[in-house]
Amino acid sequence: MDLSLFPRIQLGHFPTPLEPMANLTALLGGPRLWVKRDDCTGLSTGGNKTRKLEYLMAEAIAARADVVITQGATQSNHARQTAAAAAKLGMKCHILLEDRTGSTDPDYTDNGNVLLDRLHGATVDRRSGGSNMQQEMEQLAEQLKADGARPYVIPGGGSTPVGALGYVSAAMELASQAAARGLRMDYLVHATGSAGTQAGLVAGLHAINSDTKLLGIGVRAPQEKQEAMVYDLACRTAEHMRMGGGIPRELVSANCDYVGAGYGLPTAGMLEAVEILARTEGLLLDPVYSGKGMAGLIDLIRKGYFKANDNVVFLHTGGSVALFGYGDAFGLKSSQG
């Protein structure tokens, strides 16, 4: 698979490191745990959206866009990385934030990612939970066009066949890192939301005939819906790459047992996972995605899902900036006044 055919612009630091998690492995009594550090992509505190944006922003430049529009939840890491990418490329950025949690905590509504969105110079507008966010973006794009601007709309999470190329590329990067250190990668586990990360990984691992088993841990939708979203986008990504033969449906696997009460709402497992990783590995997960992903991984380990000598790589997708919006959930909020 030759990805050099697709326009890409450099925004991040690659390859990101692949590191052992020796303390967590010892604490849980195996399997052998590793972490792929996509929290260290380098753009505005990092995260998985940087890889997608390297392809998406190249398309925006090709379209001669002067403003990008995107959307996400209030504490969207995607919005923050998009705002940073736009700043770096001299484009304006409009962000629409959907209130998916109903939290009125000012740390949630204005600190963390929201503070950084604004610091990068993006315009931030709010929409109530359940709004048709794609339609809201398209309306805004029409207004901007009427005013003479050239907007480029990035769907939520950057999860399009173009954005997913970032994770096709990541699959290849990770496979060659593992090979270079003689590591047989039995499983790759990560948090899955808008599906672009998993779809790209499915297509990329399939393209290189990898036998690593990929498992997404859902953070929003129920399993059937999540797997359907990932499969659909993986197929469209494979088509976009003109990969023959299609994507076998059984390559898509998502476990959505760790969502809890809903997207962005804390669970006991997430709080435990964030604290364990912070205290054993010095690693910062996030409350919405990687914390729930790791909660799922820890629970599956405790249930004996893996063999003791399996090598399990956790893809750390970033997001720790959102912790500053969730101090309350950890009982670590400074008292006011």
Ligand X SMILES: *Cc1c(COP(=O)(O)O)cnc(C)c1O
Active site residues: 76
78 near ligand X, rule: CB under 6 A: yes
- 3-class state of residue 263 by DSSP: coil
Question: Considering all CA atoms of the chain, what is the largest pairwise distance in Å, rounded to the nearest integer?
Answer: 63
Contacting residue, 41, 70, 113, 290, with ligand X by CB under 6 A: 290
Contacting residue, 193, 204, 287, 296, with ligand X by CB under 6 A: 193
Q: Which residues pair with 71 in a beta bridge?
A: 96
Q: Which stretch binds ligand X (CB under 6 A): 87-95, 190-198, 204-212, 276-284?
A: 190-198
Contacting residue, 196, 266, 269, 325, with ligand X by CB under 6 A: 196
41-60: contacts with ligand X (CB under 6 A): 47-48
Shortest Cβ distance from residue 157 to ligand X (Å)? Answer: 4
CB-count burial class (<10 Å; 0-12, 13-18, 19+) for 238: buried
How long is the chain?
Answer: 337
Instruction: Looking at 63-160, list the stretches that DSSP marks H as alpha helix, in order from N- to C-terminal side.
Output: 77-88, 106-110, 113-119, 133-146
What lies within 8 Å, CB to CB, of 268 at 6+ separation is none
Residue whose CB is less far from ligand X, 44 or 48: 48
157 near ligand X, rule: CB under 6 A: yes
Shortest Cβ distance from residue 199 to ligand X (Å)? Answer: 8
Shortest Cβ distance from residue 322 to ligand X (Å)? Answer: 8
Contacting residue, 12, 99, 317, 323, with ligand X by CB under 6 A: 317
Structure tokens, 259: 């969502």
Rounded distance between C-alpha atoms, residue 260 and residue 235, angstroms: 29
Contacting residue, 71, 74, 75, 194, with ligand X by CB under 6 A: 194
Contacting residue, 192, 210, 255, 267, with ligand X by CB under 6 A: 192
Q: Which residues pair with 69 in a beta bridge?
A: 94, 153
226 near ligand X, rule: CB under 6 A: no
Q: Are 206 and 247 in contact (CB under 8 A)?
A: yes
Residues of this chain that bind ligand X (CB under 6 A): 47-48, 77-78, 157, 159, 191-198, 286, 289-290, 317-319
